[in-house]
Amino acid sequence: MRGGMRINAGRPRTKSQTGQLHSLDARRLRREDLLRPGLRFGWQWTDEDGKPTARIDVRTHERALTVEYSINGTPVEQRVELLETPCNYGGDRVWLACPNCRQRVAPLYLSRQVACRKCFRLAYPSQSEDLMGRMWRKQGKVERRLRSGKRMTSATRDRLIDELMRVEDAREAAFIAAARRLLGL
């Protein structure tokens, strides 16, 4: 069996992934108008049943945030600088400065400290997907586009349906190939 069991299996999952830590995203804070100086608010994460799993308190200052939370009973307080960059067609984009490396990022992740993805050495979930996982994700993406297309033209709908059929065929072919490899056929 050439390549062993992990042929086409993506990167081994040795790194923690972004979905395993809670994050604070500058884009969402901006969208919800929570970056005005002088605000104080709580941010909460919940599980599938709606039960709270984590909470942080945020205070906004002129060009900065203070994030307060506790992890395993240990209080954490971190100041995060806000940065702005001009957009080409007017307005500006807000970023968070990683307190660790000063990198300009949209999401910061929360653990024993507040830091960016690179400082925590986090991988995106897609970086360790195998071929079947990629196919399932792609199929879900196309299906979501089909479900949300209320004002979609018939040509676009037909193109998406064709793409969905191609993805399903490729996923089935990958499954058959993997089954043959496992069975030694």
pLDDT tens digits for range 96-117: 999 999 999 999 999 888 999 9
Question: In this structure, are 27 and 105 located in the same domain?
Answer: yes
Structure token pair of residue 71: 């992890």
Residue 165: both structure tokens together: 């059929």
In degrees and rounded to multiples of 5, residue 75 shows phi and psi of -70, 140
Q: Does residue 3 register a pLDDT over 50?
A: no
pLDDT for residue 77: 93
pTM over 0.85: no
The CB-side HSE value for 43 (13 A sphere, CA atoms) comes to 22
Instruction: Write the CB contacts of 130 (distance below 8 Å, at least 6 apart in sequence).
Output: 6, 8, 9, 10
| The pLDDT of residue 184 | 87
Looking at 124, 147, 169, which one is the last position of a domain? 124
Starting at the edge strand found earlier in the chain, the sheet holding 52-61 runs: 40-46, 52-61, 64-71, 74-86, 92-97, 104-105
> Are both 22 and 71 inside the same structural domain?
yes
Query: Please, which pLDDT band fits residue 49 given cuts at 50, 70 and 90?
Result: confident
Compute the average pLDDT of residues 69-80. 89
Residues 113 and 144 in one domain: no
Q: For 46-65, what is the mean pLDDT?
A: 90
Mean pLDDT of 116-135: 84
Q: Does a structural domain hold residue 77?
A: yes
183 pLDDT more than 80: yes
Strand, coil or helix: what is 141?
A: helix
Q: What's the pLDDT score for residue 149?
A: 72
Q: Is 5 a domain residue?
A: no
Q: Which domain holds residue 172?
A: 129-183
Whether 73 and 162 share a structural domain: no
Mean pLDDT of 34-42: 94
**Which of 73, 102, 124 is where one domain is finished?**
124
Instruction: Tell me what pLDDT residue 14 has.
Output: 65
Same-domain check for residues 99 and 174: no
Does residue 54 fall inside a structural domain? yes
- The verdict on 94 and 23 lying in the same domain is yes
Look at residue 46 in the predicted model and tell me its pLDDT.
86
Q: What percent of the chain has pLDDT over 70?
A: 92
Q: Are 72 and 44 in contact (CB under 8 A)?
A: no
Statement to judge: residues 88 and 64 lie in one domain: yes
Same domain, 138 and 113: no
Domain assignment present for residue 40? The answer is yes
Neighbour tally for 52: CB within 10 Å: 9
Buried-state track 165-174, b at ≥16 Cβ within 10 A, e below 16:
eebeeebeeb
